[in-house]
Chains A and B, each alone.
Chain A
Amino acid sequence: MTQVVTSRTNPSSLPDERGHFGAFGGRFVAETLMRPLDELNAAYRKYLQSPEFLAELDRDLAHFVGRPSPLYFAERWSQHVGGARIYLKREDLNHTGAHKINNTVGQALLAKRMGKTRIIAETGAGQHGVASATVAARLGMECVVYMGAEDIKRQAINVYRMRMMGADVVSVESGSKTLKDALNEALRDWVTNVDNTFYIIGTVAGPHPYPLMVREFQTVIGRETRQQIQQLEGRLPDALVACVGGGSNAIGLFHPFIDDAGVALYGVEGGGDGIETGRHAAPLCAGRSGVLHGNRTYLMEDRDGQIIETHSISAGLDYPGVGPEHAWLKDSGRATYVAITDTEALAAFHNLTRTEGIMPALESSHALAYAAKLAATMDKDKIIVVNLSGRGDKDIHTIAELEGIKV
């Protein structure tokens, strides 16, 4: 068995001690949560220095999650695209089928060490909810998952999976009844039950220390990739491509490469019907700076500062904000953010499925679609790594329905 990478070097000094990535990030919450966030930050910093905690985390990543995930050369797909050699980081092969479990395993171990008995989580497509319910079942903790009423309708199978694992899935009827409203409701629960409850946020957003903590638990993706590509190709890749909703799989892949100027970073947002239509989920490409859900970042908002509804074929990208580190990476020029439309993502889904026998999640299909465009402009000796953040089984009904097929 390949050894799980354990070195946890930090190539970037951000965020600062109050969670700021330049102008972004920070901690914008009601007073009641300020001290609990201080306590969380202190516990996180303490256990990240603890060899026993890190050993337990690595054991869980190896034996429960199934890490390391392979770095797979998609040879036929690369030929089909024509251009650079494309590798896929196979997060779809993790337990529960996506990268989300890397983070929930870490946060749940922290929750247990902090003496919390109850876990809450928000979920959009249901992947983070499933990953939270999974770790709660394993550790014997109570679990409540908040999910927008609209998303519950769209993702019935994930709702059933969570309930089978003993989680209480609460339907959120306020606002637009989607992921952002589920996050609001989870924050309301946390402020009410903060003494015994640990809130597992599923992405690199929210108040400090969440963007830092979730990044740390997801950088296992990038650390493995670095080692694997060195073994396979003897050098670092020329470009990394990942989809960005909140942005946790992208940060997980990008972060260990941030100081490598020769590695280009591309984040791919949900372009929906196209940026020009206004019906999309691309705050980095077409939004502006604001404050929501505890951090300052790029948001989809109207001119009066009200948050507006997003549109993407992929429920996991359907969020009006984005992790503050991505906002900083965009403004600093270190990473480039682009949008892929629903139609382009669907085409990439089919292409990969047909040429490689790998069915990607619709979220990851956005990254694949952009990687294909990028590869076509590059020489054959160039290397691209795409984060295949999740598997596509959960999306089969969505795709069948779009194509008028009854499953």
Chain B
Amino acid sequence: MSRIKQCFSDLKSQRKKALIPFITAGDPQPGVTVGLMHAMVTAGADLLELGVPFSDPMADGPVIQAACERALRHHVTLHNVLDMVRDFRRDDIKTPVILMGYLNPIEAWGYAAFAQAAAAAGVDGVLTVDMPPEEAGEFTAAMNAAAIDTIFLLAPTSDDSRMQRVSEVASGFIYYVSFKGVTGANRLDVSSVATKLSELRHYTKLPVGVGFGIRDAETAGQVAGIADAVVVGSALVQQIAELAERPEVIPAALAVTIAELRAGIDKAV
């Protein structure tokens, strides 16, 4: 069983919902990331989403754009990100790690070669924001051949046929984008998300995670009431930005936030 599947299965038997923090790899500098990943797991994260820095993050708001720029100032490459995952795996063989980013760095590496390298490093899933299922045939085949789950997005604009199409090609879990917009905007409407998720459950047995707009324990709790996983990104990345000059305090500071989110989720379920 894949780590992602095992993780959701364990959580289900404990009647818990997953907390998935997102950070950009190498932000604010490469040395911070692995320690921060461990700190987040210790504080209550169930899966980790690691953003792969890209020069043109079209689906991201200003907070994650700035994180990409900070990481790219240190020339963090996709190869470096896999090194970080490999490093993380020395002390954690259980927590699933998902890479989230844009297609071009993977395209530049080559799908099959990247998939093998990522699997060897201990990556469990890949989410490429600008790769809809229509274009993903070769990509999903290469990832799945290396036992890497391909996580796809669904959005408020996705109609039934798109929900069905994504459900056919997705593995691991499905990531539902809570509103029309970019990461970090403040437009979460939990009741409309709930309606859409109940429609989506007709098409898939996979766990469904919800992201975009979840900024604190309260909104995390609300989303945990309707989804299998809660993804928190910009709120954490903003905290990293504020501490960029003092990188040594970032793991402890984010651990506090993760613990609050964890409590918010556990209270709501």
Contacts and interface: CB of A to CB of B under 8 A. Distances in A.
A binds B: yes
A82 to B, nearest CB: 45
B55 A175 contact: yes
Contacts of A192: 180-182, 185
Contacts of B152: 31
Interface string A13-32: 00000100000001111111
A304 interface: yes
A30 B155 CA distance: 9
Contact of A28 (B61, B79, B135, B153): B135
Most buried by B among A27, A35, A293: A35
Interface residues of A, number: 39
A326 interface: no
A194 interface: yes
Contacts of A180: 56
Contacts of B108: 290, 301, 303-305
B182 A27 contact: no
Interface size class of B (residues with CB under 8 A): 35 or more
Interface string B57-83: 111111001000100100001110000
Interface in B106-148: 106-109, 129-132, 134-135
B157 A32 contact: yes
Given A31-B152, A34-B158, A174-B65, A290 B104 contact: yes
B115 to A, nearest CB: 15
A304 B79 contact: yes
A308 B56 CA distance: 10
Given A30-B59, A31-B177, A188-B182, A305 B135 contact: no
Contacts of B185: 192
Contact of A32 (B54, B104, B156): B156
Contacts of A348: none
B162 A307 contact: no
Most buried by A among B152, B155, B185: B155
Given A32-B156, A35-B158, A291-B130, A301 B104 contact: yes
Interface string A257-290: 0000000000000000000000000000000011
A304 B130 contact: no
Contacts of A174: 62, 65, 69
Nearest to A189: B182
A305 B57 CA distance: 13
Most buried by B among A29, A188, A193: A188
Given A31-B132, A35-B162, A306 B54 contact: yes
A305 B177 contact: no
A32 B135 CA distance: 15
A184 interface: yes
A292 B59 contact: no
A16 to B, nearest CB: 12
A35 B161 CA distance: 10
Nearest to A181: B56
A166 interface: no
B27 to A, nearest CB: 15
A187 interface: yes
B159 interface: yes
B130 A294 contact: yes
A306 B105 contact: yes
B169 interface: no
Contacts of B109: 305
Most buried by A among B62, B106, B107: B107
A304 B110 CA distance: 11
B241 interface: no
A267 to B, nearest CB: 23
Interface in A179-222: 180-181, 184, 187-188, 191-195
A293 to B, nearest CB: 7
A291 B107 CA distance: 7
B154 interface: yes
A188 B58 contact: yes
A27 B134 contact: yes
Interface in A10-68: 18, 26-36
Given A32-B155, A33-B157, A188-B61, 20 more contacts: A26-B135, A28-B103, A30-B59, A31-B157, A31-B162, A32-B177, A34-B132, A35-B159, A35-B162, A174-B62, A174-B65, A174-B69, A175-B55, A175-B65, A291-B102, A292-B56, A292-B104, A294-B130, A304-B105, A307-B104
Interface of A: 18, 26-36, 174-175, 180-181, 184, 187-188, 191-195, 289-294, 296, 299, 301, 303-308
6 contacts: A27-B135, A28-B103, A29-B132, A33-B157, A291-B130, A305-B105
Closest 9 CB pairs of A and B: A305-B108, A305-B105, A32-B155, A31-B153, A304-B77, A192-B181, A305-B104, A306-B55, A30-B59
